[in-house]
Chains A and B, each alone.
Chain A
Amino acid sequence: MSVVEIVRFAVRGLVANRLRSLLTMLGIIIGIAAVILLTALGNGASQYIQGQIAGLGANSITILPRQPPESAGTSGRPLTTGDVRALADPQGAPDVASVSPVAQLSASVDAGRSRTDATVVGSTPTYFPGANVQIGTGRAYTDADVEAGRKVILLGRTVADDLFGVGSDPVGRDVLVRGVPFDVIGTLAPAGQGQGLSNPDENVLAPITAVQGSLTGFGDLSQIVVQARSTEAQAAAESEINSILDRRHGIEEPDNRDYQVLSARQLADVLDDTLGAFTLLLAAIAAISLVVGGIGITNIMLVSVTERTREIGIRKALGAPPSAILGQFLVESIILSVVGGMLGVAVGYAGTLVPLGDFRPVVLPSAVVAAVAVSAAIGIFFGAYPARRAARLRPIEALRRE
């Protein structure tokens, strides 16, 4: 008895109960479609965030002050202009391209008719490439502006829209930052949502000397922005920063550091890990629905075996060996699950064509392969018990059943 005949018997058995076969498949279709769709969502989100982080500037490194743990026995030292000078030393830190001190505060910005809240970032011209900030209109402030402490300012797109109307060009106008007048010399290009630590669209940028002179005072720095020579040099630059600051701040144990080094690379790693775990969680939930679908197959196959007990008895009386009966029912459940799996892939793929918010789900080819393989395995695993029961029926008992 050939495999072809067994498959033909199985197909005949399934076609005889079209609606039931379809409904049984539905469990697998939904399970596989969920796996495909949810992993595609996770993958799409990951790719979207990767793109956003690339926009942060792949070479950018931010140093923030940090409260050291109590075991360190010290409250730590702040970040100072002395640290900036040390980091800018090409001997000690050959992989660092530029170092920008940052004095930062939250303040209300007033344009007469309207006002808004913004983050005021005071720094030097190297901040623009260092933090990957693009100019929209007007010009960036210069080293001369910094030396002279000129009160000039660039507005983030959201701030400019709030103060002067959507799409306006406020160059040449005046704003009051905490009551101190600044000349608007430019706007920043729209950066989009959620880039890293703060949204640049809600920032206003001014020379550090002007911000310290009239707003924060000449004290400690809020942060230091460092640009590495290249993306490849980033890890080297980070370790140079650590060794210089450890020496200057008298730190022996990395755990006791009173500063923190953040980079787009680290951020990407952290987000990737988080998203990976998230995607895994989604896939696990989808896998549960697959198991439920598999149990549905077992259930229906058991019903089918009970319902066709007499037919099984006839087949045995006519000389069907146990292996032929086992094969027929096993192949039925494999067909159910594999056809269901392929339909599920199609449904899941169709689902990913619907864009969700800012990002589009991206189907993982590996998920498709795994889904089809898993559905075949489900057919074998969940079909084995009913098929064995059918094969083991005693012919005389099967024939007696009405």
Chain B
Amino acid sequence: MTGRDAERSGAGPINGVEHVLDVRKLSKVYGAGETAVHALRDVDLTVRRGEYVAVIGQSGSGKSTLLNMLGCLDAPTSGRYLLEGLDVAYLDERQQAVLRNRQIGFVFQAFNLIPRTTALANVELPLVYAGVGRRVRRDRAMAALALVGLQGREDHRPNQLSGGQQQRVAVARALVTGPALLLADEPTGNLDSRSTADALALFDRLHASGRTIVLITHDDEVAARAERVVVVSDGRLSETARR
């Protein structure tokens, strides 16, 4: 068993790394000079393995910017970001792609499934980029779909699924590579109340099984399900009471 496979199992610290996320004095500035916008100012954040953290804040508070940094979709202006003990700043574009593929699972507000492509093919996609063989890929994608309660729907295309079902496909896709970190950006933003309840129950189950989850929301009820809530306001971070 290689070190990477061990990491994927998602249980226990590896190589003495206890924090999945370790962010120090992270800043992001858009533009320059007079018109510069400070989206994030000296943010410190650590997330332990198996933690379920909700990031809340008003629209424009910088919480989406923070999520993009954490997901390696955007580069910080200054500060340090360790993911599984690895300094992301030293990775090139290809290595960052590998990191996103292996260590991070994204769940977006708009689901972001590939159109005209079956649920199964959507869930298989990260495994294709990981170079997993066809049969193993299919088995793991089927297992991920079963985990989110979508067995029997693998041949449906996104436009044949409800919003709640599409979001569950997206969660299955995020989980299929066994990432260290599940990043969810307003996952319930486009869902009705019943689907929201289903999705939150799913996150609770994933948390109970030891997944590390960072969830961004503006909804206090959603945040209340998390173990820990951090508030982003005007680019600064503050902790609220732990549950």
Is A125's beta carbon under 8 Å from chain B?
no
Whole-angstrom distance between the alpha carbons of A323 and B177 in the complex? 20
Task: Indicate if the CB atoms of B93 and A1 lie closer than 8 Å.
Answer: no
Supposing A1-B131, A310-B112, A322-B94 touch, asked if A315 and B73 sit within 8 A by C-beta, the answer is: no
Contact check, B98 vs A319: say whether CB atoms are below 8 A apart.
Answer: yes
Contact B116 A5 (CB under 8 A): no
**A319/B74 in contact, CB under 8 A:** no
Once bound together, how far apart are the Cα atoms of A1 and B173, in whole Å? 17
Task: Assess the B73–A16 pair: CB atoms within 8 A.
Answer: no
Chain A residues near B140 (CB-CB < 8 A): none
B113: which A residues are within 8 A, CB to CB?
Answer: 314
Is A396 touching B74 in the complex (CB atoms < 8 A)? yes
Q: Are B100 and A319 in contact (CB under 8 A)?
A: yes
- Complex CA–CA separation, A15 to B69 (angstroms): 36
| Residues of chain B at interface, number, CB under 8 A | 28
Q: Is the CB of A395 within 8 A of B129?
A: no
Residues of A within 8 Å of B208, CB to CB, are none
Let me know if B73 and A317 touch, CB within 8 A. Answer: yes
Least distance between B207 CB and chain A CB atoms (Å): 22
- A1 surroundings in chain B (CB, below 8 A): 128-131
B103-133 contacts to A (CB < 8 Å) = 106, 108, 112-117, 125-126, 128-131
Whether, in the assembled complex, A281 has its beta carbon less than 8 Å from a beta carbon of chain B, the answer is no
Q: Is B46 an interface residue (CB 8 A)?
A: no
Scan B70-112; emit 1 where CB is below 8 A from any A CB, else 0: 0101100000000000000000011001111110001010001
Q: Does B159 contact A (CB under 8 A)?
A: no
Q: Are B97 and A322 in contact (CB under 8 A)?
A: yes
Whether A311 pairs with B115 at a CB distance below 8 angstroms is yes
Assess the A319–B126 pair: CB atoms within 8 A.
Answer: yes
Is A51 on the interface with B (CB-CB < 8 A)?
no
Q: Which residue of the partner chain, among A2, A323, A396, contacts B94 with CB atoms under 8 Å?
A: A323
With A1-B131, A2-B131, A5-B128 as known contacts, state yes or no: A320 contacts B97, CB within 8 Å: yes
- When chains A and B are docked, how far (Å) is the Cα of A394 from the Cα of B97? 11
CB pair A322–B93 under 8 Å, yes or no, is yes
Which of A2, A311, A319, A396 gathers most chain B CB within 10 Å?
Answer: A319
- In the bound complex, do residue B71 and residue A317 qualify as a contact, i.e. CB atoms below 8 Å apart? yes
A310 to B73, CA, bound (A): 13
Among the interface residues A313, A317, A324, which one has the most CB atoms of the partner chain B within 10 A? A317
Q: Do A318 and B173 contact each other (CB < 8 Å), given the known contacts A1-B129, A395-B73, A396-B68? A: yes
Consensus secondary structure, chain A interface: helix
Least Cβ–Cβ distance between B182 and chain A, in angstroms: 13
Whether A314 pairs with B114 at a CB distance below 8 angstroms is yes
Q: What B residues does A313 contact at CB under 8 A? A: 112
With A322-B97, A395-B73 known to touch, is A317 a contact of B129 (CB < 8 Å)?
no
Rounded to whole angstroms, the CA-CA distance of A16 and B157 in the bound complex is 13
Contact between chains at B94 and A16 (CB < 8 Å): no
Q: Is A399 an interface residue (CB 8 A)?
A: yes
User: Smallest distance from the beta carbon of B159 to chain A beta carbons, Å?
Assistant: 13
Residues of A within 8 A of B177 (CB): 319
Partner of A318, one of B74, B100, B116, B131: B100
Residue on A nearest B128 in the bound complex, by CB: A5
Query: Nearest chain-A residue to B115 (Cβ)?
Result: A311
Measured between C-beta atoms, what is the minimum distance from B96 to chain A in Å?
9
A319 to B102, CA, bound (A): 8
Question: Does A321 belong to the interface (CB within 8 Å)?
Answer: yes
Bound-state CA distance A319–B105 (Å) is 10
Question: Known contacts A322-B93, A395-B73, A396-B73: does B130 contact A317 (CB below 8 Å)?
Answer: no
Most buried by A among B101, B173, B177: B101
Given that A12-B117, A324-B129 are contacting pairs, would A319 and B112 also be in contact in the complex, using a CB cutoff of 8 Å? no
CB proximity of B129 to chain A, nearest CB, Å? 5
- Chain A residue with the shortest CB-CB distance to B116: A16
Give every chain B residue within 8 A of A323 (Cβ-Cβ): 94
Binary flags per residue of A368-399, CB closer than 8 Å to B gives 1, else 0: 00000000000000000000000000111001
The answer on a CB contact under 8 Å between A318 and B101 is yes
The answer to whether B114 and A319 touch across the interface, beta carbons within 8 angstroms, is no
Provide the bound-state CA to CA distance between A360 and B101, in Å: 60
Answer yes or no: A316 CB below 8 A from chain B CBs.
yes
Taking the closest CB of chain A, its distance from the CB of B140, in whole angstroms, is: 14
Q: Which B residue's beta carbon lies closest to that of A6?
A: B128
Tell me, in angstroms, the Cα distance from A321 to B115 when the chains sit together.
20
23 contacts between A and B (CB under 8 A): A1-B130, A2-B131, A12-B117, A310-B112, A311-B114, A313-B112, A314-B112, A315-B114, A315-B125, A317-B71, A317-B106, A318-B100, A318-B101, A318-B106, A319-B101, A319-B177, A320-B101, A320-B129, A321-B129, A322-B97, A395-B73, A396-B68, A399-B73
Taking A321-B94, A322-B97, A396-B68 as known contacts, 14 extra A-B pairs with beta carbons closer than 8 A to each other, sorted by chain A number, are A1-B130, A5-B128, A12-B117, A310-B112, A314-B114, A316-B97, A317-B100, A318-B101, A318-B106, A318-B129, A319-B100, A321-B93, A321-B98, A399-B73
What are the nearest 3 A-B pairs in CB distance? A319-B101, A321-B97, A396-B73
Chain B residues proximal to chain A, CB less than 8 Å: 68, 71, 73-74, 93-94, 97-102, 106, 108, 112-117, 125-126, 128-131, 173, 177
